[in-house]
């Protein structure tokens, strides 16, 4: 068994203030082999970079989430770019992507035009530094796709995190080489919509995630999520793809390694 991979967990979140480092240590002792922690703003970009520097097999993404777009100052983007340049110059390569970023028209916490400007700035950073882009798209499929296309984002690597679109939209995105990550929602009682989506996406374009501390899977739905809950998500995904759990785990390791360009060592 290869071990669990979490391509999307927010351990910089305040939900982990009480036990962050102990918890991260215990995850790696209990079957998790690789984590990517995406930032949501400048402050968390510093935090995830620090967490990645403290833990091996722990990587991060830096960027600004659509919810936080209206609070971001122009200088925040320069400071995030400086973090990426520092990481590259030191050769630590712990920054694996730009994100999470994108558009959220469900909550609309930031005005839509501000979200779009923020999304564009994040995409430009990803392209400038040759990093993959982690995209959050909630009820904003049309604009998300148009901005990605307009900015030439598909020249680089694009990951749709917590994919919630249709099979048809996935087909379109596949033409542009997008990857898709799935988490706790595939275990929910109303998860039937994933049947057709997961039949459409070739297994080589699928990545696993938790979105911790949010989106805890069944049977622990509603609790603080962490990467060990992949033990519920992996079987749900493997079953839908018609794979054994071991086959699925190996596939996820290969896909993650290829997408982020990082070698994954089992512990």
**Nearest CA to 140 among 180, 112, 181, 104?**
104
Helices (H), the chain: 20-29, 42-54, 74-90, 112-129, 141-150, 167-175, 193-200, 230-241, 245-260
Cα–Cα dist 31/46, whole Å: 27
Distant-in-sequence, close-in-space partners of 132: CB < 8 Å, separation ≥ 6: 96, 97, 98, 126, 156, 157, 158, 159, 259, 260
**Nearest CA to 259 among 251, 103, 119, 199?**
251
CB of 182 to Zn ion, least distance (A): 13
CB of 118 to Zn ion, least distance (A): 15
Please give the size of the binding site for Zn ion, defined by CB under 5 A: 1
Residue with the two structure tokens 């519920």: 232
Bridge partners (DSSP) of residue 180 are 160, 206
Nearer to Zn ion, 76 or 211 (CB): 211
Cα–Cα dist 46/227, whole Å: 21
Nearer to Zn ion, 2 or 41 (CB): 41
Nearer to Zn ion, 2 or 11 (CB): 11
Nearer to Zn ion, 57 or 101 (CB): 101
Nearer to Zn ion, 3 or 184 (CB): 184
CB of 100 to Zn ion, least distance (A): 5
CB of 60 to Zn ion, least distance (A): 12
User: What DSSP string describes 169-231?
Assistant: HHHHHHHTT-EEEE-GGGGSTTTTHHHHHHHHS-GGGEEE---BTS-PPTTSTTSPP-GGGHH
Site string for Zn ion, 190-229 (x = CB under 5 A): ---------------------x------------------
CB of 148 to Zn ion, least distance (A): 18
Nearer to Zn ion, 2 or 44 (CB): 44
Q: Are 210 and 228 in contact (CB under 8 A)?
A: no
CB of 63 to Zn ion, least distance (A): 11
Nearer to Zn ion, 2 or 61 (CB): 61
CB of 244 to Zn ion, least distance (A): 29
The residues binding Zn ion (CB under 5 A) are: 211
């Amino acid at each position: 068994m290869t071990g669990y991979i979490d391509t999307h967990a927010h351990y910089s979140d305040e939900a982990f203030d009480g036990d962050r480092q102990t918890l991260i240590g215990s995850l790696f002792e209990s079957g998790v082999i690789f984590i990517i922690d995406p930032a949501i703003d400048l402050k968390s970009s510093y935090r995830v970079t620090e967490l990645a520097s403290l833990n091996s097999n722990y990587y991060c993404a830096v960027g600004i989430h659509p919810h936080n777009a209206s609070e971001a100052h122009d200088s925040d983007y320069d400071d995030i770019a400086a973090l990426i340049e520092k990481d590259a110059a030191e050769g630590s390569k712990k920054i694996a992507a730009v994100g999470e970023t994108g558009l959220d028209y469900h909550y609309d916490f930031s005005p839509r035009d501000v979200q779009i400007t923020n999304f564009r700035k994040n995409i430009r950073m990803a392209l400038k530094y040759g990093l993959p882009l982690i995209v959050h798209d909630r009820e904003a499929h049309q604009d998300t796709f148009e901005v990605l296309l307009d900015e030439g984002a598909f020249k680089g690597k694009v990951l749709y995190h917590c994919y919630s679109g249709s099979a048809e939209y996935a087909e379109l995105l596949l033409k542009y080489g997008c990857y898709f990550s799935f988490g706790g929602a595939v275990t929910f009682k109303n998860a039937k919509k994933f049947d057709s989506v997961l039949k459409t996406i070739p297994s080589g374009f699928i990545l696993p995630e938790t979105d911790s501390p949010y989106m805890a899977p069944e049977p622990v739905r509603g609790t603080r999520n962490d990467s060990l809950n992949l033990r519920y998500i992996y079987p749900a995904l493997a079953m839908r793809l018609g794979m054994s759990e071991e086959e699925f785990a190996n596939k996820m390791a290969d896909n993650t390694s290829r997408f982020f360009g990082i070698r994954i060592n089992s512990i």
